[in-house]
Amino acid sequence: MHKIKVHYAGSRGWLIFWAFIFFPVALVLLITKAEFELDTKVYITQYGGSVGWLCFWTIIMFPIALLLMALNGVSIIIKSSLPHA
């Protein structure tokens, strides 16, 4: 069995607010500044563009937000979570 731990580095208040109001915005916010720990690796996602515009386009038209994420780049950093000896 695998456990996934999720840590969001942004405002949790906004994340919870958008999760109740319009879930796709919460999902996009989670992708912009999140850490996912799975087994022995930590996956860190970072978005290089404006989060405000990304959320705006997510509300207006979700496919444009995906296009912005593709064009501005979403970085995924993979780190080992094992302590170094």
Summarised one tens digit per residue, pLDDT across range 10-33 is: 889 999 999 999 999 999 988 899
Domain of residue 39, residue span: 4-80
Beta-carbon count within 10 A of 22 CB: 14
pLDDT attached to residue 81: 65
Residue 44 lies in a domain: yes
Domain count, the chain: 1
Q: Does 75 map to a domain?
A: yes
Q: How many CA atoms lie within 13 A of 2 on its CB side?
A: 8
The alpha helices in 6-73, defined as continuous H runs, are 12-21, 23-32, 51-60, 62-72
Would you state the pLDDT for residue 17?
Answer: 94
Q: Which residues of the chain have pLDDT under 70?
A: 81-85
Is residue 85 situated within a structural domain? no
